[in-house]
Structure formats: C-alpha cells, structure tokens
Amino acid sequence: MFDPNPPLLPVHRPDGYPRLEDLGVIGDGATVALVGVDGSIPWLCLPHFDAEPVLAGLLDNQRGGHFTVTAQDLREARQHYIPDTAVLVTELRTTTGLLQITDAVVVRSGADLTDDAPAGRAELVRSARVLNGTIRLDIDLRPRDSGQIRAALDGLEIRPSRRPDLRLHLRANRPLASLPVAFDLNEGEHVDLVLSWGRVHRHHRFNAEDMLATTADAWRRWMAHFTYSGPQEPLVRRSAITLKLCDDWVNGALVAAPTSALPAPIGGVRNWDYRYAWVRDAAFTVFAMRRIGFKNEADAFLGWVLDAFEASRQPRIMYTLGGGPVPDEVEDPDLEGYRASSPVHWGNGAADQRQHDVYGEVLDCADQWVRAGGELQPALWAQLRGLADAAEWAWREPDQGIWEMRSDGRVFTYSAAMCQVALDRAAALGEKLGLPAPVARWRSAATELTRQILERSWDEKAQTLSAHLDGGGVLDASLLALPLRRVIPATHPRMVATTSAVAQRLSAGDGLLYRYLHQDSPDGIEGDEGAFVLCSFWLVENLVRQGHLEQAHELYSSLCARTSTLGLLSEQIDPATGTFIGNFPQAFSHIGIIASGVSLTRATTSTTA
C-alpha cells in the first residue's frame, strides 16, 4: 500500500532477486533505472529505454550486472520519494547506524519537463549519507558480462564488454581507484557518485546536492500543472509522475513499461518485451493525462501516433519510440530470467500480428487530436480515410485480438467494436471538418456494426456478451472497455449483464480480474497468468457509469491499496500471494488509477451538486 512514510522492514530477496514491490523507478525521459530497497540498481538501459540493458541483474543476478551502493550488515530498509518528484530516498539500517541514499537521473538545471528540448543530462546521481552511527559502505558497478575499468579524468571509465559503443564514467567526491570499493563513514559523512553515459561533464562543478535539488525542482514545476482533486489524490499524483517517467520526452511516445521479460507468473514463459509504444495505449493515456492537467503530454502522444502512422503508411499495433518497426523477437540464451523464469525475450513477436482494433485506435487519436485544436493535412486524411474504409470490412475477418493471442485468430468482439470506433470517428471528422468522405455510409456502417455486436456476441443462456462474435458465452474482460470507447452505453441492459458476468466469472478474488480463462480461450502459450490490473479499473468505471458509486469506491480503494509503498503497480498481480508479476511499472495500470479516479470524482460531484 502507498505510504509516504513507510516503516523500516527486513529486506526480502526471494531466490536472490528483489521483489518488484521493493523497487523504485527514477528517470529523465530517455531511460529509467530501477532502484532496490537494498541500494542496488539491477536495471538500466542506455542510452534509451529500448537499448540493450547495461545493467540487467533483474534478469540474472549473477551475470546481468548491477550498480550497488549499500551498507554492510544490512538489517532493515525503506524507500520514499521526495514529494511530487522522481527523486528517490532509500534508508538502510544496520546494527551500527542508519544510511540514507538519495537517487535521481538528473534533469538539467533550468529545464522544464514540458520544454521541447531534451531535459536529461545522461547522468545518474547517488548520494549516500550517514544519518547516525557508523556505516561500512560498499560500492560496486558491474555491467552485464563485466568490462574494462580504468582510471580516467576524475574517476573511472567503464567500457561494458557487450557495448563497445558505450562509455560509462563514474565520478565521486572521494578517490576511486578500482571497483568494488568500501568506505568507513561516521555520522554526517557522505559519499557522492555520478554515473555519466553521454558527454563527460569534466568541467562541470561536482555538486551532487545541487544536481538533486535542481532535478527535484524541475519535477515540482511540472507537477504544478496537476489539477486533480478527488479520491486517492496522493496516489494519482504519483501515477502522473510514473507515466511521465514512461514518456519519451523527445518523441512524445510512451513505453508500455520500461522493462522486458519480467514473467507473469513466476516460472512461466509469458515474458515479453514492453519497451515499445502501443497505439492502443494512446487513447487511454491521452484521456488520463489531459483530465489531470497535462495537455502537453496528451498532445505530444497524439502527435506521435499520427506521425508514426503517416510515416509507416500502414497501421502497426506498436512502434519503437522513434516511430519505426519493432525488432523481431529473440530469446537471450545467456540470462536465466527473473527468479529463473526463462526465456528472456528482446523485441516483440506480436508487432506484426493482425489486430483490427488498431483501425479504431488510430482514428480515435485523430478525433482527439482535432478536438484538441489540431489540424489534419490532406495526405494524412487520405490515409485515415483508407483506414475507415478498411475497418468497414476487416471486422468480419479473424485476428489475434487486444491480448495478442499466439493461437489461431478469431473474430473478437473487441476488435469489431474498435472497427465501429473507426467508422464513428471517421464520420465525425469528415462531417466536422467538411472533408471529402462518405460520411453517411460510414455512419450507417457504424450503426449496423453496433447492432451486429449486440446480437451476434450475445449468449442468451449465459446472459452475457461474448469474447467472439460467434457468441458461445466465452468471457473476456476487454468487453468492459466497450462503454469506455463509446461503443455500447454502460447502462445498456446487455452491458449491465455482461459487467456482472465478468465480475463473477473472471474474478480472481478480492476485486481482481483475469483477462480471460485459459481453458475457455486458449491463447497458444503454455501456462496460466495472474490477474490483469487494468481490467479491474475498467470494472470500476463500468460500476460508476451504472450508478453503483459505493461499490465502485470500495473496489477503487481496494485496488489502490495493492500498490507498493512507493505507489507503483506492475502489469499483473498473483492472486494467491498478492505479489507483483509482469513488467514493471506498467503504464496501463497507472492509467487505470488516474482514469477511475477522474470518473469517480465527476460522478460524485454530479450527484452532490
């Protein structure tokens, strides 16, 4: 549970790995580092989110690499963020003293996070200070598969063996002759470290305190745009910062998560690379960020989606952050995987799947772009018009669906619904802007498609809409998104019945939901999975729209209580243990926190006005 002032607790490392709940995230809009409650950094991709990781100890605690600053004889630890920032504080208690480590990926002095220019300095600062007693401080930096270390400038130069293109420079306020190294520190003494991977700032004054202060100040200035006032406000604030950490500040794209190959569940093979931008995330992200005050981020992501689509000249479900094709999926034979969960994957094999929902995702982005004051150039409109024409027929064909099944395709209800979105949004754009378009035909096709969904996916015996248009009563939590995409009202009797069916039959207990049941919907992948966090937030929004505010508030509170003490969430939760599984932190989960909070606030306000 989110706790701004958590207690000091023993450190747990099951199978020698940190729990995902015990990791904090810091970043600068180009990459992130995950920081363990024990002072280790077991994950860092340089120089960008989707580059090969320099530190991958999260995927192999022996060979993956780490940057560790910790206290010998560690007994207890805790973490918290400096409020409204991505500056992380870790406290470590030993039998002899208390150590405080302050970590941040540096944002350059004077930069606002909403500037068009890159705000990062390609530097990670770690400041370790003894608060009381005495501490034996251990420091080690070991890239994946090690590398060459030599004295250089005022510190050490490290050239990772797997990344000859990359030069790391480690500076300190104390002499560094080699690694690992240890220092004996008394109360008030400190060791400051700066890891650089871009241009070496050899003529910059070394002042870790200033670097941390200016970084915190930049985050606070960005958070001054925050406008939300409602349930779980501190957690919504933290979710906004977490989404910003998943944001590419240069391109405007958003990674689904800044990690790869974290398993769901532990020991399983569902270990995918999420360090790319999914088009379907766009509409949900834009809704969430715009409604809590971050218009610039919303507009930047919309612009990125349309630019990527226009440049590729075809609707891809995901892109690299630069708008290019996602690399082919490969297995890494050298890493054992998180808690021995192999294989480790780089790239994503779902990138070239047929997923018909992308038609609606792109056109919904275009609609939101225009609503926000953007313009559509004739060349882009010609491509968008082609998407609408394709959607008019594509829904009849099988695809792999929103959950990217790796089995034979089906005619998924959600995919058909997003084709309806494509037609509806295209008709609205054509009419509003007076663009050349068969508006009447599209609108008629959208109406007919809604009828087809309500009739063909309805299972009278099961009293629910089904995952597929051939009915059969097979459930899928993606059905909860139909009201959110304005396809079927949440109050429609068949949607009310479906909401109830999903809540009961896909329940993983205590408000958690499975995406689908594997015995009913084989997906071509071995094993089961955990509860998918976003689906439960979709249930909250349906309950709100159906007027069940007390039930919605209770569910929302229970879901928010599942966050880590830092206010972070993974993709999935293991229902049996409550532990985080899947990639982390997951943007979709934090979008759920924000969007559900906004819906609850609006509904509560309207009923009390």
DSSP 83-137: TTSS-EEEEEEESSEEEEEEEEEEEPTT--TTSSS--EEEEEEEEEEEEEEEEEE
- One-letter amino acid of 191: V
Which sequence spans correspond to the domains of the chain? 14-223, 233-608
Would you list the DSSP string of 363-398? HHHHHHHHHTT----HHHHHHHHHHHHHHHHHTTS-
**Beta carbons within 8 Å of 454's beta carbon, 6+ residues apart:** 465, 488, 492, 494
pLDDT the model gives residue 180: 96
Local mean pLDDT, 10-residue blocks, the chain (609 residues)? 92 95 97 98 97 97 97 97 98 98 83 51 95 98 91 88 90 93 97 88 74 95 96 98 95 96 94 95 88 93 92 89 95 97 96 93 94 91 95 95 90 97 97 95 98 96 95 93 97 98 97 94 88 98 98 98 98 97 98 98 80
343 preceded by cis ω (within 30°)? yes
> For residues 28 and 47, is the Cβ–Cβ distance under 8 A?
no
Per-residue tokens: 172? 């300190």
pLDDT the model gives residue 206: 78
pLDDT the model gives residue 120: 61
CA atoms within a 13 Å half-sphere pointing along the CA-CB vector of 21: 21
Which of 1.10.3720.10, 3.30.360.10, 1.50.10.10, 3.20.20.70 is the CATH number of 233-608? 1.50.10.10
Rounded Cα distance between 37 and 3, Å, is: 14
Three-state DSSP state, 32 = strand
Rounded Cα distance between 422 and 426, Å, is: 6
> For residues 371 and 382, is the Cβ–Cβ distance under 8 A?
no
Rounded Cα distance between 560 and 593, Å, is: 7
> For residues 121 and 198, is the Cβ–Cβ distance under 8 A?
yes
pLDDT the model gives residue 110: 46
Give 285's strand partners.
none
CATH for 14-223 is 2.70.98
Three-state DSSP state, 561 = coil
pLDDT the model gives residue 442: 98
**Beta carbons within 8 Å of 440's beta carbon, 6+ residues apart:** none
Rounded Cα distance between 142 and 179, Å, is: 8
Place of tokens 């972070």: 568
Rounded Cα distance between 163 and 14, Å, is: 30
pLDDT the model gives residue 470: 86
Is the torsion defined by CA of 388, 365, 247, 539 positive or negative?
Answer: negative
CA distances from 467 to 30, 95, 140, 357, 589 (A): 38, 57, 51, 14, 22
Is the torsion defined by CA of 31, 365, 294, 375 positive or negative?
Answer: positive
> For residues 503 and 513, is the Cβ–Cβ distance under 8 A?
yes
Three-state DSSP state, 66 = strand
> For residues 292 and 595, is the Cβ–Cβ distance under 8 A?
no
Residue 598 Cα to chain centre, angstroms: 19
- Strand 318-319, strand 277-278: pairing: antiparallel
Would you list the DSSP string of 267-323? TSS---B--SEETHHHHHHHHHHHTTT-HHHHHHHHHHHHHHHHHHTS--SEE-TTS
Outline where 485-562 has alpha helix (H). Answer: 493-505, 533-545, 549-560
pLDDT the model gives residue 114: 55
CA atoms within a 13 Å half-sphere pointing along the CA-CB vector of 560: 24
pLDDT the model gives residue 62: 95
> For residues 79 and 111, is the Cβ–Cβ distance under 8 A?
no
> For residues 294 and 219, is the Cβ–Cβ distance under 8 A?
no
383-386 contacts: CB < 8 A, separation 24 or more?
383/309, 383/310, 383/313, 384/426, 384/429, 385/426, 385/430, 385/435, 385/436, 385/437
Per-residue tokens: 436? 């050349």
